[in-house]
Amino acid sequence: MIDEKTYEHIDGYLKGTLDEDTRNNFEQRLQSDSELREELEIQKKLYEHFEVHSEEEERLQGVMKSIEDAGKAYHGLHGRRKKLRYFIPVAASIVLLVGYFMFFGSSSSMDSLYAEYSDWDSLPSLTERGTEVNTLQKAADYFSEKSYAEAISALQTHLEKDPENPLALSYLGLSHLEMQNYDEAIKTFDLLQNGTSLDRNKALWYKAMTYLKAKDEANTISTLEHLLEDSNNYKHKEANELLKTLQ
């Protein structure tokens, strides 16, 4: 039985941080314990993979998501939609909010709608994304501190080296949006939308949020309608509710 202590020894052994006595004991145990040998081999491979291939792993995650999405789209089209495996509490709370608006807030302004729908806390964390950590992390910190001007300059520096980075583009567009540079925000989201990353399906939602904040009702509606054409687009459900509220 591999217990928590044993995992600590495995970690220490693989990282080379065990003291000599502990390491000798561990190696001795390895010779007689085949279960431990197997576990060590599994853990070793996992460490190697995630450390060495973090970028490949990130891309692979995107591919897996596309396969799931395509499957959902295909089976959806053929009349039998697989039951949704991942329940998204955020989506549920937004639906509740929309319900609340429909009952109590029929005259809700575009301002309050923007406040309710723009939820940038749920942006993907930059800290998990391998080599980009140092350069992008600073920008993300500025963003969460609402220091948007600093965020913008950090992101622009990053994008010079890595012009299609979808996260950097997302943060840049959203910083412009929060600074009310609406034209710049739309331009940035266009770049995101025309890129090849998986995050391109978020661009329409970001653009809709931009038009909403700019109180451009016509463009908000047409962007939402565009977003709704593909049920796999980001925030499809919310877009549908928001559109109904606006119309």
Partner 1 sequence: MSAENTNYLYNSLIQGDRKGILAIYKLVYPKVQSFVIRNSGAAEDAEDVFQKTLMQLAVRFRQRNTPFTGSFEAYLYTACLNQWRRILNSEKKWVTKQQDLESLHEYQEISISQTEEKEDEEEKWILYREMFELLSDNCKEVLRLLYKKLPYAKICEILGYSSEVVARQRVFKCRKKLSSLIQKDPRYKHIMAQR
CA distance to 42, 140, 205, per residue, from 120 (Å): 37, 11, 12
Q: In this structure, what DSSP letter does residue 125 have?
A: P
12, 22, 23, 39: which one binds partner 1 (CB under 8 A): 39
| Closest listed residue to residue 69, CA positions, set 244, 232, 238 | 232
Nearer to partner 1 (CB atom), residue 10 or residue 177: 10
Q: Taking CB under 8 A as the rule, does residue 92 contact partner 1?
A: no
Rule CB under 8 A: say whether 56 interacts with partner 1: yes
User: Is 87 buried (19+), middle (13-18) or exposed (0-12) by CB count in 10 A?
Assistant: exposed
| 43 touching partner 1, by CB under 8 A | yes
Q: How far is the CB of 61 from partner 1 (least distance, A)?
A: 9
- CB nearer to partner 1: pick between 67 and 102: 67
Contact region with partner 1 (CB under 8 A), list: 23-31, 72-80, 182-190, 204-212: 72-80
* One of 28, 55, 67, 111 touching partner 1 (CB under 8 A): 67
Q: Which of 28, 55, 59, 100 binds partner 1 (CB under 8 A)?
A: 59
Residues with Cβ < 8 Å from 223, sequence gap 6 or more? 204, 207, 208, 211
Measured CA to CA, the distance from residue 191 to residue 194 in angstroms comes to 5
Please report how close the Cβ of residue 127 comes to partner 1 at its closest, in angstroms. Answer: 5
Asked whether the beta carbons of 204 and 193 are under 8 A apart, the reply is yes
DSSP track, 197-211: SGGGGGHHHHHHHHH
Of 155-214, which residues contact partner 1 (CB under 8 A)? 196, 198
All residues at 6 or more sequence positions from 238 whose CB lies less than 8 Å from its CB, including other chains: 91, 94, 95, 98, 117, 205
The alpha carbon torsion through 236, 240, 245, 247 (nearest 10 deg) reads 130
Residue 69 CB, nearest distance to partner 1 (Å)? 5
76/99 with CB nearer partner 1 = 76
How many CB atoms within 10 Å of residue 138?
Answer: 17
Contact pick of 57, 145, 217, 225 for partner 1 (by CB under 8 A): 57
Residues in the site for partner 1, rule: CB under 8 A? Answer: 2, 4, 7, 15, 38-39, 42-43, 45-47, 49-51, 54, 56-57, 59-60, 62-71, 73-75, 80, 82, 86, 125, 127-128, 130, 196, 198, 232
